[in-house]
Amino acid sequence: MSSDSSLGVALVTGASTEIGRAIALQLAAKNFDVVINDLPEALKPLEALKAQIENQGRKSTIIAGNPVVKSNWERIERSIGKNWTLSKAVSNYIHNTEPLRHYMNSVQMI
């Protein structure tokens, strides 16, 4: 996914919320391509955020699903691993983030 001028690919969970959205936009402004994630019912705000990121000249994709549910995180992990090399991750969930931490051992959590 990473484009030529990109500093890398960042994953932002909870991206449809105010804080997650702001973080995703800031990462895009700093030349990161951004994978945005949130619950499936937040698809409309995620689509709007994806358009904003792409309007900044960055690449973006949506992966819907609650990452603290193991089966959802495994699906997210497979999708990321199949398509991108992740360089940064932002967990914007206040719930248990253990599934995220397990996967993110080699990725900078910010």
Lookup result for tokens 């689509």: 47
Phi, psi (degrees; rounded to nearest 5) at 106: -100, 5
pLDDT of residue 55: 97
What pLDDT, in 10s, does the model give residues 38-90?
Answer: 999 999 999 999 999 999 999 999 989 887 777 877 777 777 777 667 776 66
What pLDDT, in 10s, does the model give residues 9-47?
Answer: 888 988 998 989 999 999 999 999 999 999 999 999 999
Give Cα 30 distance to the centre of its chain.
Answer: 15
Token couple for 104: 């993110």
80, amino acid identity? I
Q: What SS3 class is residue 89?
A: strand
Lookup result for tokens 């409309």: 44
What's 42's DSSP letter?
A: G
Q: Is the pTM of this model over 0.85?
A: no
